[in-house]
Amino acid sequence: MKSLHYRAHAERHRTEHIGWLRAAVLGANDGIISTASLVVGVTAAHASHEAILTTAIAGLVAGAMSMAAGEFVSVHSQADTEKADLERERVELATEPDAEHRELTAIYVRRGLEFKLAQQVAEQLMAHDALGAHARDELGISETLSARPLQAALASAGSFSVGAALPLVVVACAPSDALLPWTVCTAIAFLALLGAVAARIGGTPIARSVWRVAFWGTLAMGITAGVGALFGVQA
């Protein structure tokens, strides 16, 4: 009798990138928008070129630290919640295995399996890895989507710094008398490029992503310029 050999079909899904991609896109987008908006605001307030450059540098450093701290705290809170849920599930599996089996069976029935098949699937999965089965199918916690605080913090801080460095370079290189249009135009171009790259990696429509980030970035710079012009004074 011939033995059957099953070879796993290797596939790469875009959700594998979702953890770092979300933090990286958010960080770079925020870096470009916040730094460019700061530059536009102080430029509209008639600040000196040196003051504008100092503002951009300070915005980069403060923003990167803020992004890292915010991501670490928020994602760590998510990780703590996941750990608490897993610990509670571990206790329930040890004290009420039959009830947990019925719960998993009911989940598979709701997903379309016949009752007897759902029972068998639940039994086999629990025999293999009971906690993993309940974490995945009951709690929605998987290896791909699980919270990684340090990864999110580093990705956000690094990507923010990269994004913020782009308008900073423009400030350093652009002529003082044309700094405002240079900052606005290049920031929109950077945002459009970021939207296109993020869409390409994530497999989403590029035009929609480009339009979304460019629109909100332009709106942010426009509002900041208005505030700077309203409250600014001649340096």
Residue located via tokens 């009798």: 1
In which region does residue 9 sit, left (phi positive, over 0), alpha (psi from -120 to 50) or beta (all else)? beta
At residue 55, φ and ψ (nearest 5 deg) are -60, -40
pLDDT, tens digit, 9 for 90 and up, residues 38-62: 898 888 888 888 889 999 999 999 9
pLDDT, tens digit, 9 for 90 and up, residues 13-29: 444 545 556 667 778 88
Q: What is the pTM of this model?
A: 0.66
Q: Where are the alpha helices (DSSP H) in the chain?
A: 18-44, 49-95, 97-110, 115-137, 149-173, 179-202, 206-231
Q: Indicate the residue type of 74.
A: S
DSSP 3: P
Q: How many Cα atoms within 13 Å fall on the side-chain side of residue 63?
A: 28
Q: Indicate the residue type of 168.
A: L
Domain borders along the chain are 20-86+150-229
CA dihedral over 196, 200, 206, 208, signed as positive or negative: negative
